[in-house]
Amino acid sequence: MEVLSSLAAGFAVVLTPTHLFLIFLGCLLGTLFGALPGLGPINGVAILLPICYTLGLPVESSLIMLAGIYYGAEFGGRISSILLNVPGDAGAVFTCLDGYPMAQKGLAGPALALSGVASFIGGTIAIVGLTFFAPLLASVAIYFGPAEYFVLMVFAFATIGALMGSNPVKSLIGVTIGLIIGVVGVDSTTGVLRFTLGEAELYDGFEFLIVIVGFFAVSEIMLMLEHHSSEDFEMPKITRVYVTMKELLYCKWTMVRSSLIGFVVGTLPGTGASIASAVSYTIAQKISDKEGTFGKGDMRGLAAPESANNACAGGALVPMLTLGVPGSGTTAVLLGALMLYNINPGPMLFVEQPKLVWGLIASMYIGNVMLLIINFPMVRIFTKILQVPYWLLVPSVIVLAFVGVYSVNMSTFALLLSLILGVLGYFLRKLHYPMAPVILGFVLGKIMEDNLRRAFAMSGGEIGIFFQGTINYILWGLTLFILFVPMIAKMVSKRYALGKK
Amino acid sequence: MEVPFSYDPLGPTAFPIALGAVLVLLSLFVIAKPQNAKFPGLNTELKTVLIVLLLFVYQLGFDFLGFLLSTALLVFCIAKIFKGTTSQAFGAGVGVSGVVYLIFSFLLEVPLPVGSLFAKLLGVSS
């Protein structure tokens, strides 16, 4: 049982007072970012990454804390969905459907408690999956050459196009824009400057922190002007903050099923919590909704998306740690964080950085238990935080983000770049371009181009190299399959509708 | 972009050109099937522009006014835009800039600019 001994080594890394504190801090901040409407895991990681970096934390400590923010935010997103009918982040949209009606019936407390347990179960199942599945995938991934890598990226972008957002064309445009932003700077093979407009500060390309702060902090506060302040909402009374065994048993299969769905969706490159929760809610409704109670405060309708979005966070780490291809927008940011520390993500990560990988996995076991524990007594405090007025929240967010960028770059030009990208991000978001593909494209662009050129250099310009070998066949097969998934899904649902009639 | 010799058959131009081509192709789909974007009312739009202007001025004045003063001013203005009262905005400005300054210069040991304006007034070189 090599896995278990590696995991034990991971726990040895994590079980220090500093790391336990960082996990706790990450989970706490994550819950906060998740709970605050408008701010999600990706904004939380984007704002706190520069601070982690300037703190001079070693890479495993940073990653442990940032990952805590990630899954903590999936935990916290449910709070404002249930209490205010405002999803705390994109993954919590489906939590509103049955969570808010429950709160209106006076069951706000049980709804919070049940969704907390559902999140815990989803998170835990996903980490167990990660523990056993990731090393397997990593052992296959070491056989990837440049050509296989390039085809893998093609597969990743096909998944994004097929599954993300309402409009696949816009998701793909997002990826392309990200790739183009990634091209700026010195070309690594020839040393030629590309698109730098003579600015010396652009020679190294757009720095990662500048891009994420622009896209996820600046554009976010511009959008916040349109949301209404949560002060206007009436907070429902919270009575008992626990669930009974009977209620839990009622939802047990929904939770297990949704966790598995969430994990699988999470492992697909580029698909985040929003897709995981949408799929699991739809399936739960189709299987369990016999009396038409879904959408009116059915407990299973609340448990399904909550288990799924937490499971998705664990699943999304699988391709990120084994292949260097992020499974979601937030893992794309985590991947960028690794690159910031000069760690090349990819199939060798498990071999070269066992402390980092297994420490992270072990920390997630602990973090999930911590989240479950802090969420029961502290749920009342979190609901108070929902009432933080925007006049304090918004300027604090932007100042923290800007100072973070400044402290890493020591130049105000970096702030200007963030602002420009923020305005670009604002328009993209207003025009319904999802942001996660952009960041994925940006993070993967360099790797994609390097592998493309390396593959061509190996084959002497022959394109045939991309169509050789078992791994390439499988990847192309998967790519074709994923492109047809939306069509198949449409056909199946049509059949289903006909059958019902 | 001309590279005299390279062992790399693609060179530095192929990938960006391919990306451009893909982008053009995809844009055609969007042009063929336009989707209406919803923008908020004029009032909110003006506020959005104002925020961008404020942030622009902020990064311009960052080195000159120094972190504390420029941040306090920025926070005050943004708090006012988000409907804080004058005293709330003032408190937020002083509070946020002070706390962030303390965190960064003492806890994280990141030097934030004192401001060349004050440096000149006090006769210290910054």
Give the containing element (helix H, strand E) for A194. Answer: strand A193-194
* b/e code A290-300 from CB counts within 10 Å (16+ = b): eeebbeebbbb
Confidence of residue A149 (pLDDT cuts 50, 70, 90): confident
Quick check: A456 and B10 CB within 8 A? yes
In angstroms, how far is CA A463 from the centroid of its own chain?
A: 34
Quick check: B8 and A412 CB within 8 A? no
Confidence of residue A459 (pLDDT cuts 50, 70, 90): confident
Task: List chain A residues with CB under 8 Å of B10.
Answer: 452-453, 456
Identify the pLDDT of residue A498. Answer: 63
Q: pLDDT: is A459 or A22 the higher one? A: A22
Q: How far, in Å, CA of A46 to CA of A40, rounded?
A: 10
Q: How far, in Å, CA of A476 to CA of A154, rounded?
A: 9
Q: How far, in Å, CA of A275 to CA of A257, rounded?
A: 15
Residue among B9, B89, B112 whose CB faces A391 most closely:
B89
Quick check: A453 and B58 CB within 8 A? no
Quick check: B19 and A183 CB within 8 A? yes
Q: Which amino acid would we find at residue A144? A: F
**Of A390, A384, A98, A464, nearest to A224 (Cα)?**
A390
Quick check: A395 and B79 CB within 8 A? yes
Cα–Cα distances (Å) from A302 to A88, A100, A495, B102, in that order, read 15, 9, 27, 42
**Of A425, A359, A394, nearest to A66 (Cα)?**
A359
Average pLDDT of the segment spanning A368-382:
84
* b/e code A464-491 from CB counts within 10 Å (16+ = b): ebbeebebbeebbebbeebeeeeeeeee
Task: Give start and end residues of each alpha helix (H) in chain B.
Answer: 14-32, 42-65, 67-81, 86-102, 116-122
In terms of phi and psi (left: phi > 0; alpha: psi -120 to 50; beta: otherwise), the region of A346 is: left
* Interface contact B96, partner A, CB < 8 A: yes
Residue among A229, A430, A456 whose CB faces B39 most closely:
A430
Q: Could you tell me the mean pLDDT of each successive run of 10 residues in chain B, 126 residues long?
A: 53 81 85 75 84 91 87 92 88 90 80 77 60
DSSP letters for A207-218 = -HHHHHHIIIII
Identify the pLDDT of residue B4. Answer: 45
Q: Extract the tokens encoding B39.
A: 């923008």
Does the pTM exceed 0.90?
A: no
Percent of chain A with pLDDT over 90: 18
A98-137 tens-digit pLDDT: 888 888 888 888 888 888 999 999 999 999 999 999 988 8
A122, A255 contact by CB (below 8 A) = yes
Whether residue A414 is predicted with pLDDT greater than 80 in this model: the reply is: yes
**Looking up tokens 């988000």, which residue turns up?**
B82
Q: Extract the tokens encoding B30.
A: 């969007």
Q: How far, in Å, CA of A99 to CA of A115, rounded?
A: 9
Quick check: B26 and A169 CB within 8 A? yes
Identify the pLDDT of residue A213. Answer: 87
In three-state secondary structure terms, A54 is helix
A2-14 vs A108-141: helix crossing angle, rounded to 10: 120
Average pLDDT of the segment spanning A198-205:
74
Q: How far, in Å, CA of B10 to CA of A456, rounded?
A: 7
Average pLDDT of the segment spanning A236-258:
80
Identify the pLDDT of residue B123. Answer: 64
Whether residue A282 is predicted with pLDDT greater than 70 in this model: the reply is: yes
Q: How far, in Å, CA of A79 to CA of A62, rounded?
A: 26
Q: How far, in Å, CA of A410 to CA of A412, rounded?
A: 7
Whether residue A319 is predicted with pLDDT greater than 50 in this model: the reply is: yes
**Of A346, A364, A365, A347, nearest to A136 (Cα)?**
A347
Whether residue A311 is predicted with pLDDT greater than 90 in this model: the reply is: yes
In angstroms, how far is CA B75 from the centroid of its own chain?
A: 14
Radius of gyration of chain B (CA): 24
**Of B71, B76, B101, nearest to B87 (Cα)?**
B76
Quick check: B52 and A419 CB within 8 A? yes
Percent of chain A with pLDDT over 70: 95
Whether residue A236 is predicted with pLDDT greater than 50 in this model: the reply is: yes
Q: From the candidates A398, A409, A454, which should be mutated to test the interface with B, based on the most B CB atoms within 10 A?
A: A398
CA distance B85 to chain A (A): 9
Q: How far, in Å, CA of A181 to CA of B105, rounded?
A: 32
Strand partners, A194: A185
Q: Extract the tokens encoding A475.
A: 């990847």
Give the containing element (helix H, strand E) for A185. Answer: strand A185-186
Strand partners, A193: A186
Average pLDDT of the segment spanning A277-295:
83
* Interface contact B32, partner A, CB < 8 A: no
Average pLDDT of the segment spanning A366-387:
83
Q: pLDDT: is B44 or A150 the higher one? A: A150
Cα–Cα distances (Å) from B89 to A164, A290, A393, B56, B99, in that order, read 40, 53, 12, 20, 15
Q: Extract the tokens encoding B111.
A: 């030097």
Task: List chain B residues with CB under 8 Å of A181.
Answer: none
Identify the pLDDT of residue B126. Answer: 44
Residue among B40, B56, B88 whose CB faces A419 most closely:
B56
Q: Extract the tokens encoding A209.
A: 């922190």
* Interface contact A169, partner B, CB < 8 A: yes
Identify the pLDDT of residue A339. Answer: 86
CA distance A104 to chain B (A): 29
Task: List chain B residues with CB under 8 Å of A390.
Answer: 82-83
Identify the pLDDT of residue A25. Answer: 92
